[in-house]
Amino acid sequence: MTAPLFNRLALIGVGLIGSSIARAARAQGVVRSIAATARSAATRRRVAELGLADQVAETNAAAVEGADLVIVCIPVGACAEVAREIGPHLMAGATVSDVGSVKGSVVRDMAPHLPAGVHFVPAHPVAGTEYSGPDAGFAELFVNRWCILTPPADADLQAVDRLKAFWRALGANVETMAPQHHDLVLAVTSHLPHLIAYTIVGTADELAQVTRQEVLQFSAGGFRDFTRIAASDPTMWRDVFLANKDAVLEMLGRFNEDVSALTRAIRRGDGEALFNHFTRTRAIRKGIVAIGQDSPSPDFGRPHPDLPHEPLPRPYAGEGE
Ligand code: NAP
């Protein structure tokens, strides 16, 4: 438990990320109270049923009243509209942050609507699963994951430090960087892998000479891990690719060059080129496991069994799996 860092946390959007923040902030005692809201009445009702917040507000404007920390946890494409709505209702001295997977567009879209005297410190917790909604969150989601803050150059240092302390209390490691640099790094580490997964699962699905039954039956051959990533929320990922267009196109260009090089090696029977390439990539995987960013156990990408966590509620598992 940590002494409360903030008096009142307002969460706009209570899906996987928002509900995980609510659960973790409660568990760690880092805020005195939580107000939350979501776009639909159904989600607001579910948030109340789950007891994720002390107050479930009907509107975004009502949720931020009296909050000294506001975290916007919605798809990045909706951030401009929400910032416009909450701007006039923010408390002087409040810190406003977000969790969006793209930072340049969030800064561009939100900053103009936030009044002077409010500290805007965008953030991106690099943690997630393929599930969505308030039932999908869990308090340990951020443990040993990175949270990247992209404060503007003239940001109030005390506000930045307080938000860093908040994320550290939730178990995250904190890094700061410029929004454009964040977007380039995440384009290669997250956005491109998702695009590849979306592509390959679609390609397999369209192969007429391979039946859907065979694709499912023999999925352990590598395809299965792609299907997990390709099950991620369509709205969130549509917004990510639209918002991070330039960096994704840049990385996609490089990726296509590398695919061409491997294609050539296969066509020419150049086993040495293939072997050298695969040896290099295997070392990268070993490095990721060595720094604790994934487990060597075969539950690829799932929450680590060696980390303390409650059983992950998977309300949608029955529908999708
Ligand atoms: P999610 O589970 O789908 O939840 C999204 C929440 O935002 C819901 O409460 C939804 O309300 C609300 N919302 C959606 N559209 C809205 C709008 N136009 N105005 C107001 N509220 C709206 O999404 P998530 O996975 O938590 O992702 C939220 C943000 O976190 C995204 O920006 C994403 O890029 C970022 N992020 C996601 C992950 C991940 O792995 N999922 C990881 C890191 C960062 P309703 O339920 O009522 O529609």
Q: Report the pLDDT averaged over residues 133-162.
A: 97
Q: Report the pLDDT averaged over residues 148-163.
A: 97
For the segment 31-57, what is each residue's pLDDT rounded down to a tens digit? 999 999 999 999 999 999 999 999 999
The rounded mean pLDDT for the chain is 91
Atom of ligand 1 nearest to the CA of 132: 2
CA of 235 to the centre of ligand 1 (A): 8
Atom of ligand 1 nearest to the CA of 60: 20
Q: What is the model's pLDDT at position 218?
A: 87
CA of 261 to the centre of ligand 1 (A): 38
Q: Report the pLDDT averaged over residues 71-98.
A: 98
* Helices (H), ranges, 138-207: 157-169, 179-186, 192-206
User: Nearest residue CA, atom 19 of ligand 1?
Assistant: 39
For the segment 241-271, what is each residue's pLDDT rounded down to a tens digit? 999 999 999 999 999 999 999 999 999 999 9
Q: Report the pLDDT averaged over residues 4-30.
A: 97
CA of 38 to the centre of ligand 1 (A): 9
Residue 314 has pLDDT above 80, yes or no: no
Q: Which of 16-20, 143-147, 171-175, 290-294 has the lowest mean pLDDT?
A: 290-294
Q: What is the model's pLDDT at position 210?
A: 84
Residue 7 has pLDDT above 50, yes or no: yes
User: Nearest residue CA, atom 39 of ligand 1?
Assistant: 128
CA of 186 to the centre of ligand 1 (A): 18
In this structure, are strands 6-12 and 31-37 parallel, antiparallel, or unpaired? parallel
For the segment 52-82, what is each residue's pLDDT rounded down to a tens digit? 999 999 999 999 999 999 999 999 999 999 9
CA of 289 to the centre of ligand 1 (A): 29
Q: What is the model's pLDDT at position 209?
A: 82
CA of 119 to the centre of ligand 1 (A): 22
Residue 299 has pLDDT above 70, yes or no: no
With the most atoms of ligand 1 within 8 angstroms of its CB, the residue from 20, 43, 50, 74 to mutate is: 74
CA of 75 to the centre of ligand 1 (A): 5
Q: What is the model's pLDDT at position 297?
A: 67
Residue 310 has pLDDT above 70, yes or no: no
**Percentage of residues in the chain having pLDDT higher than 70:** 92
Q: Which of 143-152, 162-171, 288-297 has the lowest mean pLDDT?
A: 288-297
Atom of ligand 1 nearest to the CA of 78: 18
Atom of ligand 1 nearest to the CA of 128: 40
CA distances from 261 to 192, 250, 270 (A): 18, 17, 11
What pTM does this model have? 0.90
With the most atoms of ligand 1 within 8 angstroms of its CB, the residue from 236, 241, 242 to mutate is: 236
Residue 253 · residue 90 · CB < 8 Å = no
Closest listed residue to residue 124, CA positions, set 142, 144, 143 = 142
Name all residues whose Cβ lies below 6 A of ligand 1.
13-18, 38-40, 43, 73-76, 78, 82, 99-101, 124-125, 128, 132-133, 233, 236, 240
User: Nearest residue CA, atom 41 of ligand 1?
Assistant: 128
Largest CA distance in the chain: 67
How many residues are listed for the chain in this entry?
A: 321
Residue 274 has pLDDT above 50, yes or no: yes
CA distance 187 to 101: 10
Three-state secondary structure call for residue 4: coil
Residue 321 has pLDDT above 60, yes or no: no
Atom of ligand 1 nearest to the CA of 136: 2
Print the SS3 string covering 6-52.
EEEEEEECCCHHHHHHHHHHHHHCCEEEEEEECCCHHHHHHHHHHCC
Q: What is the model's pLDDT at position 204?
A: 87
